[in-house]
Structure 1
Amino acid sequence: MADTKPKNFRVIIVGGSIAGLTLAHCLMHHGIDFVVLEGRNEIAPQEGASISIWANASLAVDQLGILDDLLAEVEPLEYVYNWSDKGKLLSYLTAPGLSKIEHGYDNAFLERRKILQIFYKHLGDRQDSVLTSKKVTRVEHADTHVVAHCEDGSSFQGDIVIGADGVRSKIRSEMWDHMDTLGLQKEAKKERERMTCEYDCLFGIASPVPGIKAPDILRTFGEGWSLLVVSGKHDKVYFFLFTRLDRKYKSHEIPRFNHAEMDQHVAPHLNRPVTDTIPFSEVYKRAEVRNWAPLEEALYEHWSSDRFACVGDASHKMTPNAGYGANSAIESSVALTNHIAAMLKENPEPKTEDISRTFKEWETDRKERLIPTWDTAAMFCRLESGANLKFRILKYFLKPLIDMGHRSTVESIAGGEAVSCLPFPERSFQGLVPWKCHDDLSSIVKEKTWQRVLAGLPLLGFTGLAFATMVPVVLKVIPQMEDIVKLGTWTTRTGGIVNLQLPLFNLKALDEALRPMIAFFLPAITGSDVVSRAQTFPFINDLGGIFAIWMLESYRKAQTLPAPLLPIIMGALSQLGGIGIFGPIYYFIQYLQVSLLQTSFANYRETEPTTTYTLLFALTAGQYIPCLTSFFAPALESRKWWNALWQIYPVTVPLLQLPLNKLLNPKSEGSANPEIRVQNRQKSLTAIRVAYRSIAVASALGFLYARYTAPAGSSALSIFWPGLTKPESSFEGGVAWFLQWDQIISMGAGFTWLALRFRELKRSGAKFSWWRGITGLVGTTCAFGPGAAFALGWGLKEELVYKVGLRK
């Protein structure tokens, strides 16, 4: 232990809670003196409470040398079964079982009393600094110290006082009174009124129940109520019945419950399903200990004032449904001691203003993670109990919701706090997801949202360029295009006639919407403008590969409906208004949505191989074949029809893929087996390789064909570069100009997006040469076209993501 401060600096911890004992351990390892004042007459009373310890808290607990004893008391959690109020299985998940694979730590669930006993035991010689029957009644705040006065007449002096005394914190109340003396009466008044209560919880511990076995988590989603039942070691059962109160209560009116009325309270819920075959009555009748309490909620604005600070439930009380409370308390305590230790290292004799500044820095840093956690806990409680129509509907979409939630949870857990003076345990390096607190990652995890927005702004610059170049031209072309549609026919330069009045799909609204879009491409697909044909064919051929990459980016890890909507919508808009306008917007949104710096590379990369292969099949049928046939069908009328089919590929490709994917994709929630996980990652990469190489070949063939069949005397520059002078006023000239700029701008935005991704990978430790990459990009573009270069660039990004993911 490093002694970094004078021996007389002393921390008074009020409350022998999990937060309080975590503070004691951390201070002990930092070499900072402390005393713990617990109001009850024992440190670990039996109250029927049980809590979960997730990986984000396990990291610090492992550093403190406590984790092994905790794990000896638990069966690691592996499965979650979500049931409806009718006993129908809504979803089955293996996310808890993946925790050790992802982070190096199992999820644990055990009695709160056991945790307190183990934490207390590991204080060793410092157990004598934990005093029971010391109920603090008043705190005296002086310029240089604080004094805590206890009900038994004793008093304790220290430099700071930290309230770890729970939801009804005396120290928090004393802090508010102190704020009043500082002229902060309005702020203190708001804090006193911040706590609310909408739910209560009847919880307890039961003897084994037939049919409920470790390592299962059983959740039942009701309306106005919900159930959580967890099986632990030796099949001991921990149960929670959450019910919604008749209204939302404010802090001063939160009800207290008569324990003699527990049976009456639970009676309407005894037949609620725990599973499809087990009612709650089977659990409740085996209860060995039980309790009934209101579920207060409060996220306070002020966690500290001068020499006062509060941690755990005293500063951020949340509902327990998601199991975040104790884990957040541990993290807050670890973070607070890290800040205190850093302050003392810099200034061994801090004044009140130094302490206050340190506390505020801790608050700011901690709230960045805590606020989303608190919000998620509140949302999850209301989702389980069907608090309103929205939540009652969402419970039927649990699988995609939890998939998306799991991805964000993985990232959140990876940001868990670590004790700054202790080494990282070996276990913390064994997960697939890198911990953000590891030294080798400290330089790449601090990118803020505004920094990403700033980095991504050049993408929106391409949209601005599109409005400056493409929009004025298309505004001139549209009236000419409308005249062609009204006329009903198009005559090519060689005398061929295309009838635009014939039905396409025998759907009047769709046919009418497509006719102007077909007319726009008639100069190219009929060969009336041979130069434009040489540019347009490889360009719209490339669009298939671009769309495939967009879709693959949305398929990461789990196939959920909301994610693919972005490429589908942006693809459809690109067909209507030009990918030069909407493509950069897609890249900007996608860049903000997914950060390689803050995402598990293993989770970011994985797609189901079958999903990748079915996408390639659907892309061939829905985009490549219509594109090819619209240029090379013998009859002009056939070209028109195939072009109409090509126009709607952002919709038809997903529609073609969906049934194939449902039919061929195995329903799997993943595996906790490391060998299987490695095999799955390799299969995913193999499929990705097939995809990007196939796309590159298709784009290269289209480019080479167009290049070597172009009119004699036309250069690549004249075919693909629009030039700086305004186009001629003819319909053909305007269309050609528009499509040239559409290609230049969209590909420029795509390459810029790739550059941003490579920048992230470089900062993540990927090894590559910028010079060689740029040279290869330019060379591939000149030789095989921009579509092939983009596909190969994306493929290189995937290869690097895979390598970095393995190393981390």
Structure 2
Amino acid sequence: MAPVITRAVRAISAVPFLFLTAWSFGAMDLDKMASHTQPFADSGVIEWDGGKVDIIDHFHNVDILDQLWRGGMATFSTSTFGYDSVSSWQVFSFLIDLGPIYAIWILESYRRVNAWTPIYLPTIFTVAAQLFGIGPVSGVFYFLYITFGPTPSELARSTQSRSIWNKGSIHLILIILLLHTSEIFAMFLAPDFATRHYWTWAWQLTPLWIGVANVLFDQTLRLLGLRRLLSISLAPLLIILGFISSSVWLFTLSSSPYPLTTLFIPDAEEQFEFITHTRRALQADELGVVVSSLLWLVYSFFDLYIAGLVGWEWLVYAASLGVATLCLGPGTAISVGWYLRERALVSAKK
């Protein structure tokens, strides 16, 4: 465990992540979102020009959960039902990109030097993201990671202490594809609005079920002695999730009638209408998590340099993140950056 002074210095250096959290949270303005969606929640109907869907009353059959996300059905309806065309393109790409981010957060919890730190329980953060937005929550997550995660001196120790406990398992890919990616496709591409509405409800607790399913599968495979047999390298896991993210990103670039700035950069001015504020909030949510994740990778590359595990190529890695984001999409850029970091950690001889 690093000295308190070292942790304090790292916390100060990580303050930009808290600024990103504050900006994203302020731009989303959850109170305004709640006031916009309350009439839909009260009436039990989501209605727009050209369509109407009744909100499912007892999806979870747990009153606090059914009430908690009732208004959220209206929030996501602007994109999943497509009556805000800009949001429809942006949010589909945004939510698909969460798959690689979920995987990376879970994989980071396997790292021995992260044991019993705040990063050890990523499901707490992914569930909180469903309530407060992953943009604000990711800033807090990465702030805590920089503060309590491995320092350069800890990274410079043995490979065993700095690498992931076990390699990626087949079940983690399947869990994310089944419980997250497939649900996002159903939310946006199902042929009727009622089905899209159903899967929007289902997705609200998906981060919790991903965490629970991963732990249950992991422990079952351990008891059966199959975990090592079904382990794979990290590359296929990230390639599969990155391929899906890039496919959606390239489809968006080639088919969307809107420029990237319109799709992904929130309006600087405060919005007061339901549709325009919802669009701005979800754009700020995505921008918050993407910028935080890329910035965390830059910090991580610099830590590798300080630890002597990489040379000046860390600058090339950092600079390539922006290019990869534009060409392949945020989800793939984050996956590639994280994989480069992991390769540097594993291949270093110290």
TM-score above 0.5: yes
Name 1:755's counterpart in structure 2: 298
Q: Is the 8 A contact 1:596 1:760 kept in 2?
A: yes
1:687 to 211, 214, 233: 233
Query: 1:492–1:526: 8 Å Cα contact kept in structure 2?
Result: no
Measured in 2, the distance between the counterparts of 1:551 and 1:655 equals 11
Instruction: Choose from 58, 63, 66 the match for 1:511.
Output: 66
**Matches of 2:315 and 2:21 in 1, distance apart?**
27
What letter is aligned with 2:247? L
Partner of residue 548, structure 1: 103
* CA positional deviation for 1:792: 0.8
Partner of 1:789: 333
Q: How does 1:263-662 map to 2 (within 5 A)?
A: 448-471=6-29, 474-493=30-49, 495-557=50-112, 566-599=121-154, 600=157, 601-609=159-167, 612-662=169-219
The secondary structure found in structure 1 opposite 2:270 is coil
1:724 matched residue in structure 2? 268
Separation (CA, whole Å) in 2 of partners of 1:612 and 1:557: 17
C-alpha distance in 1 between matches for 2:32 and 2:113:
45
Unmatched segments (≥5 aa) in structure 1: 1-407, 412-444, 669-679
Please give the TM-score of this superposition, normalised by the length of structure 2.
0.89
Q: Distance in 1 between matches of 2:5 and 2:311?
A: 21
User: CA distance change for structure 1 residues 453 and 557 in 2, over 3 Å: closer, same or farther?
Assistant: closer
Relative to 1, partners in 2 of residues 1:596 and 1:800: Cα closer, same or farther, differing over 3 Å?
farther
**1:486 Cα deviation from its structure 2 partner:** 0.7
TM-superposition CA deviations, 1:27-55 (whole Å, max 9, x none)? xxxxxxxxxxxxxxxxxxxxxxxxxxxxx
8 A Cα contact 1:557 1:608, kept in partner: no
Q: Deviations over 1:625-673 (max 9, x none)?
A: 11111111112111111111111122110222233222223688xxxxx
Match of 2:343 in 1: 799
Q: Deviations over 1:255-280 (max 9, x none)?
A: xxxxxxxxxxxxxxxxxxxxxxxxxx
1:451 alignment partner, SS class = helix
Larger radius of gyration: 1
Aligned residue runs from structure 1 range 210-229, under 5 A: none
CA distance in 2, matches of 1:688, 1:647: 27
Q: Who is 1:292 aligned against?
A: none
Output the CA distance in 1 between the equivalents of 2:113 and 2:220.
16
Give the Cα separation in 2 of the matches to 1:502 and 1:604.
48
8 Å CA contact 1:583–1:746 kept in 2: the answer is yes
- More strand per residue: 1
Q: Residue 563 of structure 1: CA displacement?
A: 6.3
Measured against aligned partners, the alpha-carbon deviations of 1:323-354 in whole angstroms (never above 9, x if no partner) come to xxxxxxxxxxxxxxxxxxxxxxxxxxxxxxxx
CA distance in 2, matches of 1:499, 1:701: 33
| TM superposition shift of 1:606 | 2.5
**Alpha-carbon distance in 1 for matches of 2:57, 2:31:** 26
Query: Using the alignment, how far apart are the partners of 2:53 and 2:120 within structure 1?
Result: 35
Q: Does 1:738 align with 2:287?
A: no
CA gap 1:771/1:591 in 2 versus in 1, 3 angstroms: closer
- What displacement does 1:692 show? 2.3
How far is the alpha carbon of 1:690 from its aligned partner?
Answer: 2.0
Q: 1:665 to 1:561 in 2, by over 3 A?
A: farther
| Partner of residue 49, structure 1 | none
CA RMSD of aligned residues (A): 2.6
Task: Return closer, same or farther for 1:667/1:503 CA change in 2, 3 Å cut-off.
Answer: closer
Question: In 2, are the aligned partners of 1:534 and 1:709 still within 8 Å (CA)?
Answer: no
Cα–Cα, structure 1 residues 446 and 598, in superposed 2: closer, same or farther, change >3 Å? farther
CA contact (8 A) 2:153 2:307 kept: no
CA offsets 1:137-175 (integer angstroms, 9 cap, x no match): xxxxxxxxxxxxxxxxxxxxxxxxxxxxxxxxxxxxxxx
Partner-residue secondary structure (3-state), 1:503 = coil
The answer on whether the counterparts of 2:79 and 2:88 sit within 8 Å (CA) in structure 1 is yes
Partners of 1:592 and 1:564 lie apart in 2 by 11
| 1:469 shift after superposition | 2.3
For residues 667 and 554 of structure 1, do their structure 2 counterparts lie closer, same or farther at Cα, with a shift above 3 Å needed? farther
Q: How many residues align?
A: 343
Deviation at 1:762, TM superposition (A): 0.6
In structure 1, how many angstroms separate the alpha carbons of the residues matched to 2:46 and 2:318?
44
Q: Deviations over 1:277-299 (max 9, x none)?
A: xxxxxxxxxxxxxxxxxxxxxxx
Contact 1:596-1:757 within 8 A present in 2 as well:
no
| 2:249 partner SS | helix
Distance 1:592 1:459 in 2: 11
Equivalent residue letter for 1:756: Y
Contact 1:460-1:584 within 8 A present in 2 as well: yes
Identity of aligned residues (%): 24
Matched residues in 2 for 1:562 and 1:448: separation?
A: 16
Shift of 1:511: 2.0
- Report the Cα offset of residue 768 of structure 1: 4.4
Q: State the distance in 1 between where 2:174 and 2:219 align.
A: 14
> Following the alignment from structure 1 to structure 2, what is the Cα–Cα distance between the partners of residues 789 and 654?
24
Deviation digits for residues 580-638 of structure 1 (CA, Å, limit 9, x no counterpart): 211100111122222142334322212323x6332222111111111111111112111
Cα deviation code 1:408-429 (max 9, x no counterpart): 6xx9xxxxxxxxxxxxxxxxxx
The residue matched to 1:491 in structure 2 has which SS? strand
Residues 470, 742 of structure 1: 8 Å contact kept: yes
Mark the CA change 1:797 to 1:666 in structure 2 (over 3 Å): closer, same or farther.
farther
Cα drift, residue 559 of structure 1: 11
Give 1:701's match in structure 2, choosing from 240, 244, 247.
247
Partner SS, residue 708 of structure 1: helix
- Distance, in Å, in 2 between the alignment partners of 1:456 and 1:689 is 29
Q: Cα 1:621–1:718, aligned 2, differ >3 Å: closer, same or farther?
A: same
**Structure 1 pair 498/478, CA: closer, same or farther in 2 (3 Å)?**
same
Unaligned runs of 5+ in 2: none
Q: 1:450 to 1:655 in 2, by over 3 A?
A: closer
Asked which structure has the greater RCO (Cα within 8 Å, sep 6+), the reply is 2
Is residue 555–residue 563 contact of structure 1 (8 Å, CA) maintained in 2? no
CA distance in structure 2 between the aligned counterparts of 1:634 and 1:560, rounded to whole angstroms: 44
Cα contact 2:298–2:318 (8 A) shared by 1: no
- Name the amino acid aligned to 1:483: P
Deviations 1:237-261 (A, max 9, x none): xxxxxxxxxxxxxxxxxxxxxxxxx
Q: Give the SS at the match of 1:448.
A: helix
CA distance in 2, matches of 1:698, 1:768: 31
Query: Quick one: distance in 1 between partners of 2:240 and 2:118?
Result: 24
Indicate conservation of the 8 Å contact 1:537/1:706, yes or no. Answer: no
Q: For the residues of structure 2 that align with 1:559 and 1:619, how far apart are their CA atoms?
A: 22
1:470 counterpart letter in structure 2: M
SS at match of 2:99: helix
Q: Distance in 1 between matches of 2:95 and 2:5?
A: 36
Equivalent-residue separation in structure 1 for 2:208 and 2:218 (angstroms): 16
Aligned with 2:46: secondary structure?
Answer: strand
- Partners of 2:135 and 2:284 within 8 A in 1: yes
